[in-house]
Amino acid sequence: MLIDTHAHLDSCQLRDEISALLERAAAAGVTRIVAIGCDIESSRSCLDIAERFPQVWATVGVHPCYVTEVTQPDWQERLRQLAGHPRCAALGEMGLDYYHDPPDGWSLKDYQARQHEFFSAQLALAAETGKNVVVHQRDRKGLECWRDIVRLVTPWNGKLRAVFHCWILPWAEAAPVVENGHLISFTGIATYPKAPETHESAAAVPDGSFMLETDSPYIAPVPHRSQRNEPAYVRHTAEAIARLRGVSIKHIAAVTGGAADAFFRL
C-alpha cells in the first residue's frame, strides 16, 4: 500500500476530478494521499477534500512563492486555527525559494526577507501545535537556499521533524539532517535517467527516513514525463527506488508507509 505524501489536490488541474483520481490511485495501490496547502485558501480547500475523502489528509501552510500574496495581518492566527483541524497532518508547504524571480514591485532582498519571516513563523507555529513540517527549497544552482534552510531548521532539531520534499541534492547534504531525525522525500525525478544525485540519495538513505510523493500536478515520472501528474503515478517512483536499492516494491511500500504514518501520524 503506497502513500503519496505530497499532492496539490486543490490545484485547478486536479480538483474537478478528484473522485476519478482517487479511484485510479487505489487501483495502482496508492491508498492514502496527503493534500498540500500553499496559502490560507488552498489549505482550507485541502482540509475540505480531506473531510470528503477518508483516504486523504491535509497540510496547512504558506508556500514561499505565495508569501507576498498573503496579506491578512492575522494569517498566523488563521493558520493556527486550520492546524487544529482533526484532518491536518502537518504544517506546510513552507520554506524558501531562490529559483523564481520576485513578483513585480518586490526587490530580491525584501522578497527573501519575507520568505524567511514566513518560514520562521511557521516553524514556531508547528512546534507550538505539535506538528511536523513539509519544507520546500529550490535554488537556481549551488546550495545557498539549502544552507539557509538548514540554518533556520537547526534550532528546532528535537522539537519537530521536517520532510525536505522533492529531494534532488547529493546524499552528503541529506545525511546530517537525517541524523537529526528529519526526512527526505522523492518525486518522479527518481525515475529520470539524468538525475545521479537523486539516485545516489535514494540508494543511500536509511529505511524509515524517506517517503514517496508525486508533487501532482507537477513533475510526472517516466513514463508520463511532461504530462500532468497524479497520485496513481507514485507507483513508478516506488518501482524506480526499489530497483536503485535492490529490494522489492513491497518492501519500499512498507518502509515508506511506516515513515509516513509516523511523520504525519495518519
Subset of residues 93 to 132 that bind Zn ion, contact rule: CB under 5 A = 93
The distance of closest approach from Cβ of residue 192 to Zn ion in the complex, given in angstroms and rounded to an integer, is 18
**CB 225, CB 199: distance < 8 Å:** no
Considering beta carbons, is residue 5 or 112 the nearer one to Zn ion? 5
Considering beta carbons, is residue 46 or 193 the nearer one to Zn ion? 46
The distance of closest approach from Cβ of residue 38 to Zn ion in the complex, given in angstroms and rounded to an integer, is 7
Region binding Zn ion by CB under 5 A among candidate stretches 12-20, 85-93, 176-184, 241-249: 85-93
- CB within 8 A of 254, min separation 6: which ones? none
Q: Helices 108-129 and 75-83 meet at what angle, rounded to 10? A: 40
The distance of closest approach from Cβ of residue 11 to Zn ion in the complex, given in angstroms and rounded to an integer, is 10
Considering beta carbons, is residue 134 or 232 the nearer one to Zn ion? 134
The distance of closest approach from Cβ of residue 93 to Zn ion in the complex, given in angstroms and rounded to an integer, is 5
The distance of closest approach from Cβ of residue 153 to Zn ion in the complex, given in angstroms and rounded to an integer, is 17
**Distance of alpha carbon 33 from alpha carbon 54, whole angstroms:** 10
Considering beta carbons, is residue 39 or 93 the nearer one to Zn ion? 93
Considering beta carbons, is residue 97 or 148 the nearer one to Zn ion? 97
Enclosing H/E stretch for 143: none
Q: Could you tell me which of 116, 230, 95 has the C-alpha nearest to residue 164? A: 95
Considering beta carbons, is residue 93 or 230 the nearer one to Zn ion? 93
Question: For Zn ion, how many residues bind (rule: CB under 5 A)?
Answer: 1
17-20: Cβ within 8 A, 24+ apart? 18/49, 18/52, 18/53
The distance of closest approach from Cβ of residue 72 to Zn ion in the complex, given in angstroms and rounded to an integer, is 22
CA distance from start to end of the chain: 14
Q: Which three cell numbers stand for residue 242?
A: 526499489
Region binding Zn ion by CB under 5 A among candidate stretches 23-31, 92-100, 236-244, 245-253: 92-100
**CB 214, CB 6: distance < 8 Å:** yes
Region binding Zn ion by CB under 5 A among candidate stretches 24-32, 77-85, 88-96, 225-233: 88-96
- Within 10 Å of residue 18's Cβ, how many Cβ atoms? 18
Binding site for Zn ion (CB under 5 A): 93
